Amino acid sequence: MDGQPLDHLTAEEGRDRLAAQAAIIANQQAARRFALQIAPAERLPREERLRSCAGLRGSPAMPLSAWRGRSGRRYVVRILPVPVVDAEDLCDAVVIQVSRDGSGLAEIRGVAIVGDRAAARAFAASLPPAVTELHAHRLAETDADRAAVLADLGTVTTGRRR
């Protein structure tokens, strides 16, 4: 529990220590399950900001974030500024339209599946003025996977979170 090796303990003390650690882990897992059960309409979907590895091996950090869907699944996204520089970043992605206020709260303005490059250019050109950034989830490999992400994150008017 305190990070020390167990080899200096008697067998009984070692079993007691392992049992205590197992109880802590079980309590943490129960707390997570309980958290997913309370106030689902208020809680999900929501943004969960990621810490970046700025300057790792001399490369700039890629702006990443994550969204937690109603199912509890987590979707890592790349943050793209508006206007979008390269429509290629939106191809074959689930794209979340986000407005962020001065305090850093993100609000979902829309969620869409963007297909090829022409669709990405049309999508980027038709953004509402309130959208300040796009969050592109490109890890869903098939159309069915992207549709599942859309269903998990979409059809909401607000997803405000810090």
- 130-135: average pLDDT: 92
- Give residue limits of the domains in the chain: 1-38, 44-153
pLDDT number for residue 35: 59
Torsion of CA 69, 72, 74, 80, to 10 degrees: 20
Confidence of residue 77 (pLDDT cuts 50, 70, 90): very high
pLDDT above 70: percentage of residues in the chain: 74
* Burial class of residue 128 in the structure, from the number of CB atoms within 10 Å of its CB (0-12 exposed, 13-18 middle, 19+ buried): exposed
Whether 112 shows a pLDDT value over 80: the answer reads: yes
Give the span between the Cα atoms of 6 and 17, in whole angstroms.
Answer: 8
pLDDT number for residue 39: 47
Q: Mean pLDDT score of the chain, rounded to an integer? A: 79
Whether 153 shows a pLDDT value over 80: the answer reads: yes
Confidence of residue 156 (pLDDT cuts 50, 70, 90): very low
Mind listing the pLDDT tens digit for each residue in 23-35? 888 777 777 666 5
pLDDT number for residue 158: 38
